[in-house]
Structure 1
């Protein structure tokens, strides 16, 4: 059974909501005064912000469930070409984004950013790798076997962290196997420094469990296409979500939920929450036909990667250009938003920045321009 057009509305809204909130949490006016729920958990634990990125991966898988049947009609060379091309382009865009604008200010002069210290892994890179691996698994094994392989991967990742991390410190910032592999593979100078030490929360090893977010999204998308808009399908979707939450809370006792390590319990938790959120959207949009509010998020959902990249590049440029002794980003926050209050001002800055990105997406949508990779 094929889904109705409304199903695509639910998917666009779900994907658009993730992009919208990604921009909000990534561009606060002042990170030090951001509201607590808009921060990532410092290490073990979970906040609403930690749901955003895995939800995007889930949406990638969900969208793949609509595209894969068309790919099956092509020959193997064409399919592999499309998968590898998309993986490479998204990975390259992520890499170039961290290198951009290729120069920085140093004692009032522009100095070239050396390639030797450019971050290798990151958000877009994880999207690229998780998509590429999941697409290959689904293409060659079918979605059921791909999902089984992904679940096995969750247990394998748990074992790898325990075996190759520092004894007694396998799940710590300094002793985890993700850090050890990344340091050996690309060197500490190519890792993210946001924790104060070289450590990349989007490291290569922790991409293994992230693949399950994509394959789970594919499985749910396929399930909804086959089941259609019925209360039975909705009940099953919500039940799956609740069962995964129960698994997560039990697993957390021995393998803590941790976004920066992307632990297996984190995967089951986020997939469970995504099933529940998507179920709510399907109920409201598909079954109650309440769609008047959806266009705002559909704008984000129709050009998700482009708008996300635009938001990151826009923030980078605002940090790069100077107004006196401070960046344009900081000057805008101080003069327009900080007088409203530290926390409120920081939040409103993020909202305003997000709305600027939305406006670009709105203009593209009106012109029927959809950037595809």
Structure 2
């Protein structure tokens, strides 16, 4: 967003979201995690499941402000495409990189999809739609995506003739498509949490962010209350929809889109009221992280992966050595020790965000 157009609450929520993403992605021991810091096994929702949709929701708000005065021409499309390709390229690099010669994984073991890849694809499609459709048309697109996704995954027979299911199984349409297209380049043999069909439905998450951005930009009274009310409606709609289409992050189900966008709008409305209306400033360091969100997220993933892959001795690596040497103690529970490791990682990136902000270094991807 252009500096004079910045909404403080959006920057703050973006920073909090990135910090939360770093927290849940960097436990000391993946076998010992507090339940709120792990994803639901399949159907259901935990606080961790809110993080990625919150970021895509904020991407939508940012699209509104970044392109509201842009024309749908070749120059604008080129800038959108370049940014999308950068995000996808960074994501593929993270999946392919190894910190030892030849520095690239075997082709068969490279995972094609991921967080940055999904952000890049969703950003590209959502930005193009925003430039060419008005808010009524965008609302219609969201409805079509949510209903069409439910009908496809729930009622269209698979090529074998069997009826689909929402369970984690071969006869789930999302799993079937991913396996047919991605093959061995998936997170797990039977599903990918950033798979192809889920990427389509996640466009609705981003477009809901675009629509909320329009409300934020509208000179109306009691804006925080209106945003809060919209959030309640989205949340209630998602809970109702979950009767027929369960809340599921791995599938990025239609009910998941509505529920997470509802929570995101509610939290944004509260932060907007506190920071932008009442001018009660807090959490400045999170805002600093949010100003370099993609850069800090990329570095956190790159360093974490390197720590797991750089060996120390015959049967250890940097991550395990640090955790066992510094954080794991008999007097502490395994889950608490694991959380302490994650918190130290978070403090490091908060410090990095603070440093970059003070030096006025803002790296745009």
Mark yes or no: TM-score above 0.5: yes
Name the CA distance, whole Å, in 1 between partners of 2:133 and 2:68: 14
Moved more, 163-172 or 75-84: 163-172
2:81 corresponds in structure 1 to 84
The farther-off stretch of 164-173 and 238-247 is 164-173
**Residue matched to 1:269:** 259
Q: Which residue of 2 aligns with 1:296?
A: 285
1:280 maps to what in 2? 270
Structure 1 window deviating more from structure 2 (208-217 vs 137-146): it is 137-146
Seen in structure 2, the aligned counterparts of structure 1 residues 6 and 149 have a Cα distance that, compared at 3 Å, is closer
1:5 shift after superposition:
6.0
2:194 alignment counterpart? 202
CA distance in 2, matches of 1:351, 1:34: 13
> Which secondary structure does the structure 2 equivalent of 1:33 belong to?
coil
Give the secondary-structure state (helix, strand or coil) at the position aligned to 2:196: coil
C-alpha separation in 2, matches of 1:245 and 1:125: 27
Q: CA deviation at 1:112?
A: 5.7
Deviation at 1:345, TM superposition (A): 0.9
* CA shift digits 1:267-318 (9 cap, x unpaired): 0000000110000101110222111x22111121100100000110010111
1:173 is the counterpart of 2:168: yes
Scaled by the length of structure 1, what TM-score is found?
0.91
Please list the CA deviations of residues 304-349 of structure 1 after superposition, one character each: whole Å capped at 9, or x if unmatched: 1000001100101111122222111011111111113311111111
Bigger mean CA offset, 279-288 vs 111-120: 111-120
Cα distance in 2 for partners of 1:200, 1:237 equals: 33
Counterpart position of 1:191: 186
Q: CA RMSD in A?
A: 2.1
Contact 1:46–1:257 (Cα < 8 Å) also in 2: yes
Contact 1:7/1:286 (<8 A) preserved: no
In structure 2, what is the equivalent of residue 59 of structure 1? 58
The yes-or-no answer on 1:238 pairing with 2:228 is yes
- Structure 1: gaps (5+ residues): 105-109
Give per-residue Cα distances to partners, 1:219-251, cap 9 Å, x unaligned.
1111111135x4x22221111111111111111
1:349 aligns with 2:345: no
Q: Between 197-206 and 309-318, report the one with greater CA deviation.
A: 197-206
Q: Could you say which residue in structure 2 is the equivalent of 1:213? A: 205
Q: Aligned residues, how many?
A: 358
For the residues of structure 2 that align with 1:111 and 1:77, how far apart are their CA atoms? 37
Q: CA contact under 8 A between 2:64 and 2:130: conserved in structure 1?
A: no
- Residue 98 (structure 1) aligns with: 95
Is the Cα–Cα contact under 8 Å of residues 5 and 65 in structure 2 kept in the other structure? no
Q: Is the 8 A contact 2:247 2:254 kept in 1?
A: yes
Match of 2:324 in 1: 334
1:245·1:272 contact (CA, 8 Å) conserved in 2? Answer: yes
**CA distance in 2 between partners of 1:144 and 1:135 (Å):** 16
**Per-residue CA shift, 1:12-58, capped at 9, x if unaligned?**
10100110000000111111111000010000000010000000001
Change in 2 beyond 3 A, CA 1:114/1:164: farther
